[in-house]
Structures are given as structure tokens and as C-alpha cells.
A and B are shown apart, each in its own frame.
Chain A
Amino acid sequence: MSILLSHILFLAFGIVIIYLLRKEAFTGMISIFISLASLVYALYIISIQDILINQKTDIVNIIPGIPLSFSLDYLGVIFLVISNGLWLMVSIFSERYLELNKYQNKPKFYIFFTLSMLATNGIIYSSNLLTTFVFYEILTIATYPLVTFKGDKKSIINGKKYLYYLLGTSIIFFLPAIIFTYILTGTLDYKVGGIFTSYNNIAIYILVILYLFGIAKSAVMPFHKWLPSAMVAPTPVSALLHAVAVVKSGVFIMLKVFLFIFGIDVLTQSGANIIIILFASFTIISSSFIALNQDNIKLRLAYSTIGQLSYIVLATAILAPYSILAAVLHLIFHALGKIMLFLSAGIIATQTGIKNVSEMNNLSSKLPITCLLMTIGALIMIGLPPTIGFISKWYLLLGIMESENLYLLAVIVLSTLLNASYYFPMIYKSYFEKAKFDYKSPSCEDMPLAFPVIIVGFIAVILFFKTDFIIKFITENII
């Protein structure tokens, strides 16, 4: 049996185990174990990637001629490490987090959490668009119980919005796009250089728009509203799923569709990439403006995510080698940075009850480590050295120069300024502004809760000095 299939089956088996042993006490431990094993799987798969690359495993023919099929590609390798590695960190975090926040019904949480990760891994392994679509929909359905986990009225309303946006766009845009692609090309397999041999421009324009709207998980405006609504979920969900697994699946699929379905040549020759660039630029700027006005920390982070995702989409759509490098790098770096920010927000809310930026005054005296981690995360988002965010932004700028779309520099500069202006208040307030009231205990850092975040922060800092191996991997294999 193929190792990729066995990874997915292992996760399915894990879900069954959690269900069978549904005890509040140790489902968390089981889940940590499953995520650890999944990471080991991922690392093992990567260690033998040379054998696995582009080797297809067909499972079952859903539609005659289009099987459910798994394979590994180099883009997948990168996303695989990121998602499974961060999953382990977040499951360690969520065990403590659920306990401190007194959440009930942990087995349900972990079952759907694992199912979401199963779907994410399924998306990574998909070797054709139909398989991707199947797991894309599973991911939507699996995250719904997590978004509505609190079960109160607000989460039900937001959960509905979440589903309406994600399912609606996938049914109305994504599915017909896939079918239309199949009718035009007779295949749905991802292929380096694209699958369109002959095409007319109008069909390509229509398809690009359908994919852009259809893959709403990448939160390109105007179908981005689901992401802020998903913020009612418990923090680990927002952190892993709505900063890494779900949204990165969106941009990951987008990357694969642009590079391996359309292909760079088709997009540049038809000029369809301009459409993507316009939508992405608009999203980058307007989401930053909206983020400025959000007082709720998680909502501010959510709008920041929307902007950052469009960076990746924009970088891909520029289609220059450097910009594609930037897109892949940013996929990794944004994941690391945003998860730190979300988890820090979770720690802050858990330990102090603070949920708004305006209440963050002098928080650093109370949560020194958390505030430091948050600062690193924020610097990554803004793209300042010495953080990894700077590296991806650097290559993005190089890519823009290379492609001679110089007006995009203005977009990047403006959005960087905006990013800075909604992240700096958080840093400034927590370090330099006096609190309105004195905290009783000087520090209430909870080490078990902060531990996984510290590890992520450590990796993020180290990576700045050691990015060359990633860049080498990407330039050798993907571009």
C-alpha cells in the first residue's frame, strides 16, 4: 500500500480511536500522539521523497477517467511539514487551553480537529483537481463543528455564514470551474507547465475568475467574510485552521491551479494573471484598512490574514521566478508568524481575559514571554528584519522588479505601512503604555500553555539565519 494512503488511513484510524475511547481525560494525549505520529509520517515521507515524487496511487474511480488519486509534489512537501509540524504544536497547546478555559466535550473537538487535518493532508496529496475538491469540501464540513464549538447563538450564526461562504463558492464557482476545465482539456491531473494545450482567452478569463472566487479558502475579496466569522471558534482552531490549515490549503490549491493547471505560459500569454493581480491587490489594501479599525485582537489578526494570503496569491500571479519563490516562502513564514500571534492572543485571553487591543496596556509586565512572541509574530507580518517576514517580502519586491509591474511596489509599500500601523499599537501598548489598573500578580505566564508557542518562536527566529536550504529546495524543484 502506498505510504501516502496509509498516512491518510492512519489519521482516519486515529479518529476512530478517539471516538471509541471518548474520555475527557485522555483524548488530548491521544490527539497529541496522533499529531506526533502524523509529523513522523510527514518527515518519513519527505525523507523518501525522491522515490515518491509524481508516483500516483489511484484509489477509486469516482467519475470514470478521474480517480481519487494521491501523489506527492515538491510544493506538497513544504506544506506537509508546515501543517503537520504546527499541528503538533497546536495540539499540545490546545490540551492545556481547553483545560484552562473549561471547555466541555473534548472528544468532539479532537475528532473534528483530526478530521480537518486529515482533509488538509488529503489536499496536499491530491494528484488531481477532483481529489482536491473532495478534500476541500471535507475540510469545510469538518471545521464547521469546531467553529460552532461553543454552541451559543453567536457561533451558530457565524458558523452558518462560514458554511454559506465556503460551500456556496465551492458549489457555484469551484465545481463548474473543475468541470469546465475537464471538458476543455480532458484531464484534471496536475502537471508542471499546465494542462491546457490549446485555449482561447475568454475561456481562460472565465476559468481564472471561477477559480479565484471558487477557492474562497484563500479569502480573496469579495468572498472573504467567512474568515472573520470563523473567529468565534476556540483559539487553537483559529490558530491552526484559520491561519494555517484551511487558509493555506486555499492558497496552496490556488498555487497548484495557477502553476500546474493553467501553467505560467497560458496565464502570461492570455494576460489572465492581471485579473488575479487586481483582485489580490485590492484585497491586500482594503483588508489592511479594515484591520486598522478592529479592536478585537482576533478579528484584527483575521483581517491581517486576509491581506497576507493575498500577498501569496499576488506573488504567484506575478509569475516571475522570484515572486513564486516569495509566494512559497511566505506560505511557510506567514504560517509560523500568524500561529504565534493567534496562540499569543489565546494565552492573553485565557490568562487575563483581555480580548481587545485597547485593553492591552502594559501587558508585558504580566505576560512577558507571550508579549515577546507576539512582537516577533507582528514583525514577521510587517516584514521587518531580523525576522523571516523580511525575506519573503524581499523576494516579492525582487519579483515585482523582475516582472516590471512596478506599480505593484506602491501596493506593497502602502500595505506594509498599514500593517505596521495596526501591529505597532499592539506592541507599543503592551510595552510602553501604563495600565489603567495594577495587576496583582506581576507575572501569570503559564509555561505549559506558552511552551509550544516558544518552540514556534524559536524556529521562526532560527529560520531567519538559515533560510538558504529552503530557498535552494524551492529554486531547484519548484520554479
Chain B
Amino acid sequence: MNQLPVLIIVLPLLIAPILLLVRDNRYVYNLSLGVSFLNIFLILILFQDVYQNGNILYELGSWKAPIGIRLNADLLSCYFLLLINFMAFICLIAGNKTIKSQVEDDNIHLFYIAWLLCNVGFSGIVLTNDIFNLFVFLEISSLASYFLISQGNYKASSLAAIQYLFIGSIGAVFILFAIGILYVNTGTLNMTDLSNKIGNGSISLSMSLSIAMFLIGVGIKTALFPLHGWLIRTYSYAPSIIVSYFSGTSTKIGIYILLRVFLDIFNSINPLEYYNLAQLVLFLSLIGVLLSTLYAIKQNEIKKMLAYSSVAQLSYIIIAIMLLTPDGLTASLIHVFNHSIIKTGLFLVVTILFINNKNVSIDDFSGLGEKYPLLMSAFVILLLGLIGLPLTSGFISKWYLISAILQSDYWYISGIILITSFMTFFYAWLLIEKIYFSARLNHDASVATSYQLLCVYFLAALTIYLGVDTSLTFGISEQISNNFYSTINQ
């Protein structure tokens, strides 16, 4: 039996308590970096295996499902797994210096432990084939996140963490109830089994309750409008490096759960279509795109601006899913990947330049183009990617999104999508103008280490690479969505 799926989860899980004993910050850092590098390596092997040979199922302790717990690595899992662990690795490299200066010395090793656990939670969510385990992993990652967020050196950091705790818990409770109802109805927790047992029958009242609860729970996790308030606060007050990490991972996990639950587990009854849920969510997201883009333009604080921008971009992803067409799903998966890279890159630049500034405003970027020509070029490339200009990955996302919308029943919303996508340009340009046309302010931006710079350059280069060569993003996404929709149509 292929041991890779379980290794990817267990390895960091084993390292975490060891770090608690090591305590020495330097070793702690190196160990966490090492384990996350090793993880990427393992994931790449797993990915290749899954790509060539199809799903890999792993029965924990050789207990057969549905009694035992099963891990299931399919293409969708691998796609998200790679994304999440890659982001974690990049942020770990870039974060070292920032963490040292932002987190209290005594807490640093705890910080890394929490980080590893959080990532274990994320990896677990995408790999597990057991819906209750999904909830457990979700809780692991959430608990670790609370700690990570609370370590920000803002006054409001603890408050943000508590809010995240409350709202996250509410989301989790909804998901837990939903799972409970499913269990009562079907007597199983294994996803494949669930999917079979739900069958083609009509949807009972309790089942629809479960569906609604899932939707709310996942909606909170993905910052679905109007459940996006926590994201803005978290992104504004968490340590910047954690924001960089979360912007590429945590909300994307929400997207993963949404896909897994609604397109995989429930695929035979297709609840999104049944209740016109898709339409509801789509129009909510459309409002979300409009409002959050408007808010992003109005923000003076860059983290808030990028946070609102994230809400808008997530809404694009959700809209693409809710088209309920293979093209839409492909578009959403492409954008998941591209947006993570772009947004993490943008937040990383903010992180490494402004370690000591608490509220980084747009003005703080004044004249930086002269001081850091290369770093700012990378930043501008990332911004152009966010706008979606050709030769950046954002363009690919936009192309498929518009293409999917034009071919769906909702072709008439394409105008709003295009206009909001142009509005992205408004706030991105505010920054570019500051960078190149304003006189430099006196306060010093902190000096970035070469590792940090390399991370940003790498993400910017990826933004261009993924805009030219789409075999990874488009190739995989298309295959995943074809798999899903071929099973739905059967």
C-alpha cells in the first residue's frame, strides 16, 4: 500500500511535539522548514502517482472502510495539497525574520508548532475520506489559527483572534450538525459510502437541513458574502506573515470543502441545483464582488485593501463554481491556484517591507520604486496579475471565468464581472502611482533579507509563468472538473 498520504499528515504531526522539547528557536525553525520541504517533495511524488494511476486510497491501520478511516488522494486533493504546502513553505522561508521581530521570544517555538499543526489540519482536510475526520482536522487547523492570529502585535490582535474563534466555531458547529444529520440519515461517515447511500432519492427534510447547515458553515469559512467580516479583521490584525499564509490557504480550504461536499458527496442529488441554491449563492457573491471591490478602492490601509480584494476574488471563484458547468469548475480551480500565488506574494511584500509598522497605509509605498527597483517590479507584476493583464496568471483566470460565464445560463452577469475586474485596476493603480510618482517619505522601510526577496521574486515569476504555460493549472483543473461532471451526469 502506498504510504505517502499518511506520511504527509503524520510527519509534521510527529515533528510538532519534538519541537516543544527542542525549544531552541534556531533549530525549531530549521526543523519546521525541513519538514515542510520534505512534505512538498512527498506531495510531488504523490501527485505524479495520482496523476498517472488515479486515486490512491489508504486505509488507516488496515481497517477497511466504512468502519476504518480512509484517506483518499485524488487529483482534487493533490491540487489543493500542493498549493497549501507550497504556500506554507514559501511563507516559512520568508517569515523567519518577521516572526523573530513580531512574536515574543518565548512564544516563537510555540508559533512554529502551531503553524505546523495548522498545516497538518489543512493537509488532513484535503486528504481524508471521512467526513467526521474532516471536521476534526478543521478544528485542529482552527485552534492553531487562533493562536497564530493572536500573536500579532496589535492591540486588536487578541480581539481578532477571539472573533475568529467565535465565528469559526459557529461555522464549525454548523458543519458538525450537518455531519450529525447525515450520519443519522445514512449511518456512515465515509464520504464514498455517504455518496452511495444518499442515492438518487428525493431529498428529505432533515437532509435539506444538513445541506443548508453545510452551506452556512462553508460560507463562513470561504468568507462568502455577507459572512466575510471575520476575514477583514483577521487579515488586518494577524501577524503579517500569517496573513500571507492564510490568504493562500485558509479560505481555499473552504473552497475545497465546498467542492467536496456539494459536488462529490451530494453529487447524486445535486442540492445546488435542486433548491436554486446555486442561484442564491451566485447572486450573493455577485453583490459581494461589487461591494468588496468598492470597499477595497476606499481603503487607505493596505492590508484592509488586500483583504477586501481577497473577498472579491473568492467571490469570483464561488461564482465560477455556482455556474454548475464543467467550464465554471475549471475556471474556479485555476483561479484558486493563481489567486493564492498572487495574493500571498502581495502580502509577503507588505510583510517584509513593514515589519515594524502596524498600520501600513498606501502612502507608505511612496517613492519605493526608486529605493527597491527590483522588489517593486515584482510587486507591480503581482498587481498586474491581480488586475488580470495578459501574460500574467490572472489573465488566464479571467479568460476562463468570462468564457464560462458567457457559455452558462448567467451570461448576463458577465458585464458586472468585467466592470469589477476593471475596478481592481483602480486600487492596484493607486499603489503603482504611489510607488513611482510620489516623493519618498522619511520613515524607513525595513531591509529585506535575500531569502525574503527570493520568495517574492519566485512568486512574481510564477505569476508570469502560469500566465504563459497553463498545463499545470488548466490541465489539472480541466481533468478534475471533467471527472466530477462525468460522474454527475451518469
Residues of A within 8 A of B (CB): 60-64, 133-134, 137-138, 141, 148, 151, 156, 160, 163-164, 167-168, 171-172, 175-176, 179-180, 182-183
Evaluate contact between A176 and B406: CB separation under 8 angstroms.
Answer: yes
Judge whether B326 is part of the interface by a CB distance below 8 angstroms. Answer: no
Give the chain A neighbours of B273 by CB distance below 8 A. none
In the complex, the chain B residue whose C-beta lies closest to that of A156 is: B437
Give the chain A neighbours of B470 by CB distance below 8 A. 61-64
**5 tightest A-B CB contacts, nearest first:** A134-B390, A171-B422, A172-B418, A179-B403, A137-B390
Give the chain A neighbours of B415 by CB distance below 8 A. 172
Judge whether B419 is part of the interface by a CB distance below 8 angstroms. Answer: yes
Residue in B407, B429, B474 whose beta carbon sits within 8 Å of that of A163 in the complex: B429
Judge whether B391 is part of the interface by a CB distance below 8 angstroms. Answer: yes
Residue in A134, A172, A183 whose beta carbon sits within 8 Å of that of B406 in the complex: A183
Give the chain B neighbours of A183 by CB distance below 8 A. 403, 406-407
Q: How far is the CB of B330 from chain A (nearest CB, A)?
A: 11
Residue in B384, B421, B474 whose beta carbon sits within 8 Å of that of A64 in the complex: B474
In the complex, A235 Cα to B406 Cα: how many Å?
Answer: 43
Judge whether B65 is part of the interface by a CB distance below 8 angstroms. Answer: no
Number of interface residues of B (CB under 8 A): 28
Residues of B within 8 A of A (CB): 384, 387-391, 396, 398-399, 402-403, 406-407, 414-415, 418-419, 421-422, 425, 429, 433, 437, 467-470, 474
Q: Could you jot down 5 A-B contacts, CB within 8 Å?
A: A167-B422, A172-B418, A175-B418, A182-B403, A183-B406
Give the chain B neighbours of A182 by CB distance below 8 A. 403
Q: How far is the CB of A325 from chain B (nearest CB, A)?
A: 33
In the complex, A137 Cα to B387 Cα: how many Å?
Answer: 12
In the complex, the chain A residue whose C-beta lies closest to that of B384 is: A141
In the complex, the chain B residue whose C-beta lies closest to that of A131 is: B390
Evaluate contact between A133 and B390: CB separation under 8 angstroms.
Answer: yes
In the complex, the chain A residue whose C-beta lies closest to that of B467 is: A62
Q: How far is the CB of B472 from chain A (nearest CB, A)?
A: 12
Give the chain A neighbours of B474 by CB distance below 8 A. 63-64
Evaluate contact between A171 and B468: CB separation under 8 angstroms.
Answer: no
Evaluate contact between A63 and B469: CB separation under 8 angstroms.
Answer: no
- In the complex with contacts A151-B437, A163-B429, A179-B399, A171-B406 CB distance below 8 A: no
Give the chain B neighbours of A164 by CB distance below 8 A. 425
Give the chain B neighbours of A156 by CB distance below 8 A. 433, 437
- In the complex with contacts A60-B468, A60-B469, A156-B433, A171-B403 CB distance below 8 A: no
In the complex, A182 Cα to B403 Cα: how many Å?
Answer: 9
Give the chain B neighbours of A141 by CB distance below 8 A. 384, 389
In the complex, A64 Cα to B421 Cα: how many Å?
Answer: 23
In the complex, A440 Cα to B468 Cα: how many Å?
Answer: 60
Residue in A61, A171, A176 whose beta carbon sits within 8 Å of that of B425 in the complex: A171
Evaluate contact between A160 and B390: CB separation under 8 angstroms.
Answer: no
In the complex, A141 Cα to B384 Cα: how many Å?
Answer: 10
Evaluate contact between A63 and B399: CB separation under 8 angstroms.
Answer: yes
In the complex, A164 Cα to B391 Cα: how many Å?
Answer: 20
18 new A-B pairs (CB below 8 Å) besides A64-B474, A175-B402? A61-B469, A61-B470, A62-B470, A133-B390, A134-B391, A137-B389, A148-B437, A156-B433, A160-B433, A163-B429, A164-B425, A167-B387, A167-B425, A171-B418, A172-B415, A176-B406, A176-B414, A176-B418
Q: How far is the CB of B251 from chain A (nearest CB, A)?
A: 25
Give the chain A neighbours of B467 by CB distance below 8 A. 62
Grouping DSSP codes into helix (H, G, I), strand (E, B) and loop, the A interface class, with mixed when no group exceeds half, is helix
Give the chain A neighbours of B414 by CB distance below 8 A. 176
In the complex, the chain A residue whose C-beta lies closest to that of B388 is: A171
- Inter-chain CB contacts under 8 Å: number: 66
In the complex, A133 Cα to B398 Cα: how many Å?
Answer: 14
In the complex, the chain A residue whose C-beta lies closest to that of B433 is: A156
The CB with the most chain B CB atoms within 10 A, among A148, A160, A171, is that of A171
In the complex, A183 Cα to B391 Cα: how many Å?
Answer: 21
In the complex, A137 Cα to B282 Cα: how many Å?
Answer: 30
Give the chain B neighbours of A160 by CB distance below 8 A. 429, 433
In the complex, A239 Cα to B45 Cα: how many Å?
Answer: 57
In the complex, A141 Cα to B391 Cα: how many Å?
Answer: 13
Residue in B384, B396, B406, B422 whose beta carbon sits within 8 Å of that of A62 in the complex: B396
In the complex, A60 Cα to B466 Cα: how many Å?
Answer: 12
Evaluate contact between B468 and A180: CB separation under 8 angstroms.
Answer: no
In the complex, A141 Cα to B395 Cα: how many Å?
Answer: 15
Give the chain B neighbours of A61 by CB distance below 8 A. 469-470
Q: How far is the CB of A160 from chain B (nearest CB, A)?
A: 7
In the complex, A399 Cα to B459 Cα: how many Å?
Answer: 55
Give the chain B neighbours of A180 by CB distance below 8 A. 406
Give the chain B neighbours of A134 by CB distance below 8 A. 390-391
In the complex, A183 Cα to B414 Cα: how many Å?
Answer: 14
Give the chain A neighbours of B437 by CB distance below 8 A. 148, 151, 156
Give the chain B neighbours of A175 by CB distance below 8 A. 398-399, 402, 418
Q: How far is the CB of B331 from chain A (nearest CB, A)?
A: 12
In the complex, the chain B residue whose C-beta lies closest to that of A66 is: B399
In the complex, A148 Cα to B369 Cα: how many Å?
Answer: 15
Q: How far is the CB of A420 from chain B (nearest CB, A)?
A: 40
Q: How far is the CB of A422 from chain B (nearest CB, A)?
A: 34
Q: How far is the CB of B406 from chain A (nearest CB, A)?
A: 6
Q: How far is the CB of A96 from chain B (nearest CB, A)?
A: 27
Q: How far is the CB of B326 from chain A (nearest CB, A)?
A: 14
In the complex, the chain A residue whose C-beta lies closest to that of B399 is: A63
Q: How far is the CB of A153 from chain B (nearest CB, A)?
A: 9
Q: How far is the CB of A479 from chain B (nearest CB, A)?
A: 32
In the complex, A395 Cα to B22 Cα: how many Å?
Answer: 86
Q: How far is the CB of A58 from chain B (nearest CB, A)?
A: 13
In the complex, A334 Cα to B391 Cα: how many Å?
Answer: 32
In the complex, A138 Cα to B407 Cα: how many Å?
Answer: 28
Evaluate contact between B433 and A179: CB separation under 8 angstroms.
Answer: no
In the complex, A60 Cα to B390 Cα: how many Å?
Answer: 13
In the complex, A182 Cα to B399 Cα: how many Å?
Answer: 11
Q: How far is the CB of A55 from chain B (nearest CB, A)?
A: 23
Give the chain A neighbours of B390 by CB distance below 8 A. 62, 133-134, 137-138
In the complex, A163 Cα to B419 Cα: how many Å?
Answer: 15
Residue in A60, A133, A163, A176 whose beta carbon sits within 8 Å of that of B402 in the complex: A176
Give the chain A neighbours of B429 by CB distance below 8 A. 160, 163
Give the chain B neighbours of A63 by CB distance below 8 A. 396, 399, 470, 474
Give the chain B neighbours of A137 by CB distance below 8 A. 389-390
In the complex, A175 Cα to B474 Cα: how many Å?
Answer: 19
Give the chain A neighbours of B391 by CB distance below 8 A. 62, 134, 138
Evaluate contact between B419 and A172: CB separation under 8 angstroms.
Answer: yes
Evaluate contact between A179 and B406: CB separation under 8 angstroms.
Answer: yes
In the complex, A163 Cα to B384 Cα: how many Å?
Answer: 13
Give the chain B neighbours of A179 by CB distance below 8 A. 399, 402-403, 406
In the complex, the chain B residue whose C-beta lies closest to that of A62 is: B468
Give the chain A neighbours of B419 by CB distance below 8 A. 172
In the complex, A456 Cα to B221 Cα: how many Å?
Answer: 65
In the complex, A179 Cα to B415 Cα: how many Å?
Answer: 13
Give the chain A neighbours of B384 by CB distance below 8 A. 141
In the complex, A171 Cα to B421 Cα: how many Å?
Answer: 8
The CB with the most chain A CB atoms within 10 A, among B389, B414, B467, is that of B389
Q: How far is the CB of B157 from chain A (nearest CB, A)?
A: 36
In the complex, A171 Cα to B468 Cα: how many Å?
Answer: 19
Q: How far is the CB of B370 from chain A (nearest CB, A)?
A: 11
Q: How far is the CB of B46 from chain A (nearest CB, A)?
A: 25
Q: How far is the CB of B1 from chain A (nearest CB, A)?
A: 35
In the complex, the chain A residue whose C-beta lies closest to that of B478 is: A64
In the complex, the chain B residue whose C-beta lies closest to that of A148 is: B437
Give the chain A neighbours of B418 by CB distance below 8 A. 171-172, 175-176
In the complex, A156 Cα to B430 Cα: how many Å?
Answer: 11
In the complex, A60 Cα to B471 Cα: how many Å?
Answer: 11
Evaluate contact between A168 and B389: CB separation under 8 angstroms.
Answer: no
In the complex, A322 Cα to B418 Cα: how many Å?
Answer: 38
Give the chain A neighbours of B425 by CB distance below 8 A. 163-164, 167-168, 171
Q: How far is the CB of B144 from chain A (nearest CB, A)?
A: 39
Q: How far is the CB of A43 from chain B (nearest CB, A)?
A: 29
Give the chain B neighbours of A133 by CB distance below 8 A. 390
In the complex, the chain A residue whose C-beta lies closest to that of B389 is: A137
Q: How far is the CB of A297 from chain B (nearest CB, A)?
A: 27
